[in-house]
Structure formats: structure tokens, C-alpha cells
Amino acid sequence: MKLNYTAPPIAPDSTGPIFKRLLKYAQNYRVGFILAIVGMVVYSSIDAFFFSQIQTFIDKGLTQKNSELLFYMGLAIPFIFIARGIANFIATYSLSWVGTHVVNELRQDVFNHLMKVPVSFHDQNSTGDMIAKITYDIEQVQAASSKALMTLVREGAFVLGLLVVMFYLSWQLSLVFLVIGPVVGVVVKYVSRRFRMVSKRIQKAMGNVTSISEQMLNGHKVVVMHGAQNIESDKFADITRKTRQQQMKLVSTRALSVSAIQIIASLALASVLLIASNPSFLDSLTTGAFTTVLTCMMTLLRPLKLLTTVNSEFQKGMAACASVFELLDEAAENDCGEKVIERAKGKLELSDLNFTYLGKEQPTLTDINLTIEPGTTVALVGKSGSGKSTITNLLTRFYEYDSGDIKLDGMPIRSLKLASLRQQFAMVSQHVILFNDTIANNIAYGMLDSVSREQIEAAAKAAYVTDFTDSMPQGLDTQVGENGMNLSGGQRQRITIARAILRDAPVLILDEATSALDTESEKRIQTAIESLSHNKTVIVVAHRLSTIEKADKIVVMDKGKIIESGTHQSLLAQNGVYRQIYDIQFVGH
């Protein structure tokens, strides 16, 4: 069974469903969200109310010389603006509170989901793209969920308020806006689609920027050694150039849309003035009413501009949401097992096992049949790419095999819960992974709550970690740096071996575990491993035959098949492939 799930494509005009899904994250913060909406509506209503009083101020206050009205208006204005300020504070604070919570929850969901998706997903997607989703894409979501949403609601409510005032004073003049409304809607719809399309391209470009930056930083020594600075610089320049081009497309679309809507609004204003120039119509309007309608129309230009401008931010946020939700819709690992075992005896049975990596045509493993008895050591040898490490990855269900079966103590591994299955294995890989923490915490990674300091120290001593930590001022509490950058390759390898010793799992996988050690350290580690291997099933993946001569069984692989198996002496006596490898490594010297 292969996991080749692909998330459904998200249509470029599906803002509604995406926004509804984003709003679900706000359900736990609905009180703050409601306060924000109320605050924005009150804020806009106060502004609209202020404009509605222009007619009263002109017709009754100034024209009729009503000093008492002017006095009370003067007293009321500060209180009105105090209420306006309070409403603005409540709206801004509440929406930011909700927005930061939603974004924090969304970012956590993405981070957690990336730990749940299969290893095959990480094989097919660059680390830079995933980091860009956690950082850049979610930052765009935050912009959409706070600033953009506030402008859309507040300015939208203000526009509606102004239109209500205008229709109340003169519905005839205000009818012009019923004509231009659909035209503005068509422009906004086109522009929104354009914004979404360009925004998705920018997100992809930002993923490429992150990827190539990470690649250069991780491979800095190789770049410098090979004098490839100009090559990497040219690659980065090409990507940033494409990013800049997409950003300029966004800017030009925004600028053109704002200009188009303002031109449409100006035509509406011109039409009103032309209609009002009719003497008979002009006589039916008071000076205050006409001034108020005209002021409202001119004021509408600013919120219309803001609504169009912020639409680009909102659409960028929705495009980022689509990208994030697409990731969250990726299928997690198929944890279909129901059985839980405390500690396995360690018997492994591989029957008619076949496996092909996703996207590859040639099978990696073909008809693998292998039985590993509890407490024995089995070595897998062969050329690079023969399928040795793939077998260990299938045992821990990092990948799902296509056909055949793998059993642990007679139970199909697919019948076991993933966490329970993986607890039965300790792995030391040639690819050392350390976290930016202390040596002690790296040794006890994932087990800090269940092991004592004494156990950590005992594991460190057994793996000869104390040989170098004893000379360090902070000993086992020394920080290792990012991926152990403060330590040598051999020291890092010893820490991962100490981690495996502390884990004390019934099955131990050693994938070129001593590859980074010098001869003296290798002999010491081999002694530690031999001591560790008592009462455990040990699977050793090795290129150097000197490390596996004492194995109970040696399995020789080639092109995904088992071609020989037996003890060291029996394989030498067969004069087959194993003998050839042995002669190359020993006799050839």
C-alpha cells in the first residue's frame, strides 16, 4: 500500500469556503471576535452619524442662527469622539487578540501535522517550502485576519452608513450609486482573482528563496571549497528577481484597481452634480441636504480606495490560507494498528516483501524473505542502493511496503500502533541528528521524564561520551549547538549511541553506526555495542566487514534482493559476492 494522497486543488475564487474554515479557528475566541465586530460597527456608525448631522448644522444651526443648537453640538462632539476612540480601541485590541490566537493555533497545527505526515511526504517536499509555510504564509494569514479584516468590516460599514445617509436625504441623487455598484463589483472580483493568483506565485517564490538559502548555509563549506559562490549567487539572484517581478505585478494590479474605482466614483459624483444643476431639482433640496450628500460622496472615495487596497492584503491572506490548509489536508501516517505491546522479544519475520519508492519505477526490494531470531545479530551488507537501509525503514514503518508482510513476535507490524511499534526499536544512523540542547538532554531525548540523571551518565559512560565531556567545564550539560556543530563527527556519533543505549529497546538498528569514528574509538564503541547487544535483536547495516565478522548471520544484498546469507566463515567458503567484497577490503590492501 502506497501513500500517494494529493490534497484537492483549491479554486482561485474559493475565498468564501477558505475564510469560513479560517473562522472556525476563531470559534474558541468568539467573545473577542464579536467585540471586535461590534467595536468596528460602532466606530463606523459614529462617523456616519457625524456626517448625517451636517444638514442640521447648516440648515438649523447656521442658516436659522440657532445658537442653542450650536452650543449643544459643541458640547456633544468631544463625547462623541471619546466614544469613537473607545470603540476603535476595543475593535483593534480585540481583533488583534483573536488574530494572534488564531495564527498561533494555526501555526501549531501546521507544525504538529508536519510531524504526522509520512516520511515520503518529506522526501517529496523541500524543507525550505515547509519552513516558508510556517513563517511567511502564516504571516500573510495574520495580515488577513487582523488589518485586512478590520479595514473590510470598518470601512465597509462606513460606506453603508454614508449610503444610508445619502438615500435618506435624496434618494434620487443616490440612485447613481446603484448603477456604479455592479461595475465596482466586477472590477473587485477580477482584481481579487488576480491578487490570489499572483500571491500564490509569490508564496512559491518565497519557498524557493528559503530553500536555496538553507541549501547554501548547510553546504557553505562545499560552496567555498569548490569556488561556487558565483553559481549560488546567480541562482539566488534569479529567484529574487522572479519574486520581485511577482511583487511588482501585485503592486501594479493594486494601483490600477484603485485608480479604476476612483475614476468610476468620480463619474458618479459628476453625474450627481449634473443632475443637481437642474434648477427645479435644486430648489427641492436644502443647502444642508445638498452639502451633506455632496460631502458623503466625496468622502466615499477614501473608504473605496482603502477597500480596494486592503483587498490585495486580504487575498494574499486567503491564498496563504489555501496553501496552509492544503498542507493540513495531507494524509497523516496510516496508524491503523490497535495492538500495544510493552516489550517485544525481538523476533522479526519478513515474508515476500516488496517495496518501491514513490515516483520510482524500479522496485527497491523484491521478494525479501528473512527471519531474525530474538537475541541474534544480523548484518546487512552490499553495495550502496542495494536496499539495506530501506529494510530498516520498513521495520519501523517509516514507509509502507507494497506487498508481503513483516511480523514482530508473530504479529504483523501493521496491527500495532505506530508509537508502540517504534518503542521496540533503537536506531543509530550514519546521519547524526542532534538538537540545539545539552549533551545530557540529547542523550535522553524523548525520555527526560522517565530516566534519572544517573541513567544518563551510565549511558554516556558506556558509549565513551564521558571521555570527552570530562574535560569540558560543563560536562554533560555542555550545549552542542545547532545539530552538534560544537562537536566533532565522532563525538556526535557517540552521543547518538548513548541515546540508543539509554533507550534500551529490544531491537537495535545500527546503520553505519561507527562510520564517523576513528579506529580506536570504533574498537571502544564495538565493545560497548557488544555489551549492549546482550538479550537484544541487533540489525547492523555496514559497508566495512570488520565490524560484522562476529554477527550470527550476514545477509548479502544486491539490487533489492537477498543473494547470500550465512556466517562470516561460511560465506567466505562459498567464494561468492561476500568473498569478493572481503577480498577488495582486506586482500586488496
Give the tens place of pLDDT for each residue, 338-379.
Answer: 899 999 999 999 999 999 998 888 899 999 999 999 989 999
Q: Does position 289 have pLDDT exceeding 70, yes or no?
A: yes
Predicted pLDDT at 447: 85
Predicted pLDDT at 364: 92
In a domain, 341, yes or no: no
If we measure between CA atoms, which residue out of 137, 146, 142, 126 comes closest to residue 33? 146
432 neighbors 470 (Cβ within 8 angstroms): no
Largest CA distance in the chain: 120
In a domain, 302, yes or no: yes
Lookup: cell for 95: 481583533
Rounded Cα distance between 296 and 21, Å, is: 36
DSSP assignment of 248-309 equals HHHHHHHHHHHHHHHHHHHHHHHHHHHHHTSHHHHHTS-HHHHHHHHHHHHHHHHHHHHHHH
One domain, residues 317 and 400: no
Average the pLDDT over 300-308 and give the result: 71
How many angstroms from the chain centroid is the CA of residue 576?
50
When pLDDT is cut at 50, 70 and 90, the band that residue 395 belongs to is very high
In a domain, 342, yes or no: no
If we measure between CA atoms, which residue out of 86, 91, 60 comes closest to residue 73? 60
Lookup: cell for 313: 492584503
One domain, residues 125 and 53: yes
Residue-number span of the structural domain to which 401 is assigned: 348-587
Predicted pLDDT at 436: 85
Q: What is the CATH number of the domain that holds 23?
A: 1.20.1560.10
Q: Which of 278, 300, 328 is a domain's end point?
A: 328
Predicted pLDDT at 283: 65
One domain, residues 134 and 187: yes
In a domain, 10, yes or no: no
One domain, residues 297 and 404: no
Average the pLDDT over 550-569 and give the result: 91
Residue with cell 562545499: 222
One domain, residues 355 and 383: yes
One domain, residues 254 and 394: no
DSSP assignment of 207-245 equals HHHHHHHHHHHHTHHHHHHTT-HHHHHHHHHHHHHHHHH
Q: Number of structural domains, the chain? A: 2
Buried b (16+ CB within 10 A) or exposed e, 228-256: eeeebeeebeebeebbeebeebbeebbee
- Residue 403: left if φ>0, alpha if ψ -120 to 50, beta else—which one? beta
Rounded to 10 degrees, the C-alpha dihedral 10/12/13/17 comes to 20
Rounded Cα distance between 288 and 25, Å, is: 47
Give pLDDT tens digits for 188-218: 667 767 776 777 777 677 777 777 777 777 6
Predicted pLDDT at 23: 80
One domain, residues 353 and 386: yes
Give pLDDT tens digits for 426-439: 888 878 888 888 99
Rounded to 10 degrees, the C-alpha dihedral 304/309/315/316 comes to -170
Rounded Cα distance between 172 and 281, Å, is: 10
One domain, residues 207 and 299: yes
Q: Does position 265 have pLDDT exceeding 80, yes or no?
A: no
DSSP assignment of 522-542 equals HHHHHHHHHHHTTTSEEEEE-
Average the pLDDT over 309-324 and give the result: 78
Average the pLDDT over 548-571 and give the result: 90
Lateral strand order in the sheet of 403-408? 365-372, 348-355, 403-408, 411-412
